[in-house]
Amino acid sequence: MKLGAFSISLSVKDLKASKDFYEALGFTVFAGDMEKNYLIMKNGNALVGLFQGMFPNNILTFNPGWDENAQKLETFDDVREIQKALKSKGITLQSAADESTSGPASMMVVDPDGNAVLIDQHV
């Protein structure tokens, strides 16, 4: 199963303080907007999303169809196929992609320790 680019989406209390901290670690702003309360920070292949006031907990995020530079991959496993595979393995979905559609969609599962895993396809 190819899940695509990986990032961690952090629920932060102070976006500017978090931005400054991750810049000190060598990250630079890759995408996002301070005025919209989110930034995507990048250091090499590592991606950290900083989100203020958007969700209560941290989320592990995968983007089928994208590499770590948000460039479309020629081949990838569609989120709906990933969803079907997980359901066939008995994984409970927290939210599901509409399997009758194509293109951008997302689904979410929660791991045994309560960590949210978002599979968020943009292509």
Q: Please give the pLDDT value at position 46.
A: 96
46 C-beta neighbours (distance < 10 Å), count: 15
Domain boundaries, the chain: 5-121
20 C-beta neighbours (distance < 10 Å), count: 10
The superfamily CATH assigns to domain 5-121 is: 2,3-Dihydroxybiphenyl 1,2-Dioxygenase, domain 1 (3.10.180.10)
Whole-angstrom Cα distance, residue 27 to residue 47? 9
Nearest by Cα to 120 from 54, 42, 64, 51: 64
105's CB contacts (< 8 A; 6+ apart) are: 79, 80, 97, 98, 121
For the stretch 65-122, pLDDT in tens is: 999 999 999 999 999 999 999 999 999 999 999 999 999 999 999 999 899 999 999 9
Whole-angstrom Cα distance, residue 47 to residue 96? 24
| Structural contact between residues 69 and 49, judged by C-beta atoms closer than 8 angstroms | no
| Structural contact between residues 111 and 118, judged by C-beta atoms closer than 8 angstroms | no
> Which pTM value belongs to this model?
0.91
